[in-house]
């Protein structure tokens, strides 16, 4: 089965539409979203409507739980807090209900599971080698699951662990996974890339061949940034999109 794995849309309708247009031509059978549908951008309701229209299976991100009021954004930076409170004021009832029902994880098949941040925390980032080791260990407790898909960092990444326990960070997401190894894989961000490439990022995963392909998609950044300013959100939230940071 061919999956498209997307993450961190952040209310960026232009990026989401462009990514879905790309996915249409890939013969994808199911789309999985790793959370943070909302936050930062100016189109939370529209993005949620698009996900529902395309029957995208989605988990909750840290911005999603703050937008619903399930958690408060006390640990967020000031601009992120502004975006949370703006989203709360502008989200409609149907969208709020959708976000409130999102699960913390999805078991995609017998080998693949999806979380937003780390296995034991939606809010924590999976960044350091210690984080990698801890999450591989947590993944071991979920056998036969051996592939963890995660988002939150907005940066594409893939870590591979051999049967002997050796861990390597691969330099590219375009590869074929090995049946006897475990993996932590981040598809990057659709709506707010932070790897200095402003193009929207996602991956496809073929569960039969274990082949992964990394896709980058251009979109109308100016329109998205202009809408952020028009909505009264911090201008820098739009400017950063132009640099992918």
CB 32 within 8 A of CB 114: yes
Token code pair at residue 75: 């640990």
Q: Does the pLDDT value for residue 7 go beyond 80?
A: yes
pLDDT classification of 71: cutoffs 50, 70, 90: very high
CATH C-level class of 2-242? alpha beta
pLDDT in tens, 115-169: 999 999 999 999 999 999 999 999 999 999 999 999 999 999 999 999 888 998 8
- Tell me what percent of the residues of the chain surpass a pLDDT of 70: 100
Alpha helices, DSSP H, located in the chain? 13-24, 44-53, 62-67, 78-90, 93-100, 129-140, 221-230, 236-239
Provide mean pLDDT across the span 90-105.
Answer: 97
pTM for this model (two decimals): 0.96
> Integer distance in angstroms from the first to the last C-alpha of the chain?
33
Q: Is the pLDDT of residue 171 over 90?
A: no
Confidence of residue 243 (pLDDT cuts 50, 70, 90): very high
Please give the Cα distance from 80 to 84 (Å, whole number): 6
Quote the mean pLDDT of the chain. Answer: 96
Q: Specify the pLDDT at position 219.
A: 98
Q: Is the peptide bond before 144 cis (omega within 30 degrees of 0)?
A: yes
Phi and psi dihedrals of 31, rounded to 5? Answer: -110, 130
What is the rounded distance in angstroms from the CA atom of residue 202 to the CA atom of residue 224? Answer: 19
Q: Based on the number of CB atoms within 10 Å of its own CB, is 117 exposed (0-12), middle (13-18) or buried (19 or more)?
A: buried
């Amino acid at each position: 089965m061919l999956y498209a794995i997307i993450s961190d849309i952040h209310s960026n309708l232009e990026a989401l539409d462009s990514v879905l247009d790309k996915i249409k031509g890939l013969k994808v059978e199911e789309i999985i979203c790793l959370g943070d549908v909302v936050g930062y951008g100016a189109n939370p309701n529209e993005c949620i409507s698009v996900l529902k229209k395309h029957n995208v299976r989605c988990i909750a991100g840290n911005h999603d739980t703050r937008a619903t009021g399930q958690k408060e954004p006390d640990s967020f930076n000031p601009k992120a807090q502004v975006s949370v409170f703006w989203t709360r004021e502008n989200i409609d009832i149907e969208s709020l209900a959708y976000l409130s029902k999102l699960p913390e994880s999805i078991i995609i098949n017998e080998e693949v599971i999806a979380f937003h941040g780390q296995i034991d925390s939606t809010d924590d980032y999976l960044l350091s080698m210690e984080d990698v080791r801890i999450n591989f260990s947590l993944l071991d407790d979920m056998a036969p699951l051996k592939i963890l898909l995660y988002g939150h960092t907005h940066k594409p990444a893939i870590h591979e662990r051999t049967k002997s326990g050796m861990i390597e960070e691969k330099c590219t997401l375009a590869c074929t996974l090995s049946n006897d190894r475990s993996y932590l894989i981040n598809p990057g961000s659709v709506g707010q890339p932070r790897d200095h490439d402003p193009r929207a990022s996602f991956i496809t995963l073929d569960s039969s061949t274990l082949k992964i392909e990394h896709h980058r998609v251009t979109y109308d950044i100016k329109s998205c940034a202009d809408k952020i300013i028009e909505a009264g959100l911090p201008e820098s939230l739009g400017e950063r999109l132009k640099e992918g940071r």
